[in-house]
Each structure stands twice: as C-alpha cells, then as structure tokens.
Amino acid sequence: MRKLLLLPAVFLFCGFVLTDKNPEWKLLFSGKNSGVMERKTTLFSNKKQFLKGWLELRKSDYSLPDIPPSVNFKAKVVIACYAGSQTNGLEVDSLRNEKGKLCIVLTRISFEKNCHNAKLLVTPFVIIETDRVGWNVVKEEERIRIVDCK
C-alpha cells in the first residue's frame, strides 16, 4: 500500500522537474502597427482577456483578423510583446525558463542610419502562445539587429 502512495509523489516531482526546461512556443501573429508607444509585455491567461487585448490592437493594426486564433487556455497562455516606438521590427528568438521566471529573448530590428527607410518607424508587436506552467514573472532580453538597405 505504501508503494502506491509513493508512486504519485514521484510523478508529481518529475512533472515539476520537466518545467525547468525551456518552454516551447508558437507565433500566433506579428505586426507593425500596435499603436503602443512604450515597450511592454502583456500576458493573457484566459479567452476574455485575450479577446479584449486583440480587439484593442485591431484598432491600430487592420491586418489582424476579426477574431483571434483559438487557444486552449487550460494548457496555454498568450503573451503579447510590444516594441514601442523607435524601431523597424520585432521578432521572438526564444523563450527561457530562469528559475520559474519566463525570459523572452527578442530581437529589435533597425535599418542602418544611411537608409531612407530608417525614418519609417513603426510600433511592432508579436503575439505568441506557450505552455501554462504558472509563470510568476515575465521579463525580456533584447538584442538589436541592424539591417542593410540594399
């Protein structure tokens, strides 16, 4: 009988250890006109929050579909990253688990300064989906990539 009681505890411990690996993620949408002027990250943990954020974003980026992608919020969360102003693009490189804190590694894209397109600044954003594992803190790490005009 005791062996049966210990077995579930072993499975629970293994499940906790598995969350220490870097999380998988999927890009849901990216765009260039969020209208958000400050750099920020928003975590959506349910359908109602996500729909509200999606509809707000749609006011400034008309390329978004009317309805957001379907997400299983019992198993997933959605994260929106906004670059703010003074940039030409934004990409998610990876996600890392840093002792229970989710770190999103982003690349900010900028044209070289002699490029005439460098003055066409936008307010880019990315929306991703990742596993729901009880992230208590979401932080960003940023890289910058300078793009040739040629």
pLDDT in tens, 101-135: 899 999 988 888 777 765 667 899 999 999 988 77
Residue 20: predicted pLDDT: 64
CA 102 to chain centre: 10
The answer to whether residues 39 and 83 touch, using CB atoms and an 8 Å cutoff, is: yes
CA 11 to chain centre: 29
Split at pLDDT 50, 70, 90, the class of 136 is low
3-state secondary structure 38-61: CCEEEEECCHHHHHHHHHHHHCCC
Residue-wise pLDDT for 22-65, tens only, equals 889 999 999 999 999 998 999 999 999 999 999 999 999 999 99
CA atoms within 13 A on the CB side of 138: 20
C-alpha to C-alpha distance for 133 and 5, rounded to whole angstroms: 25
Write down the pTM of the prediction: 0.79
Residue 1: predicted pLDDT: 38
Residue-wise pLDDT for 68-99, tens only, equals 999 999 999 999 999 987 788 899 999 998 88
DSSP per residue, 85-123: SSBSEEEEEEEEEETTEEEEEEEEEEE-TT-GGGG--BB
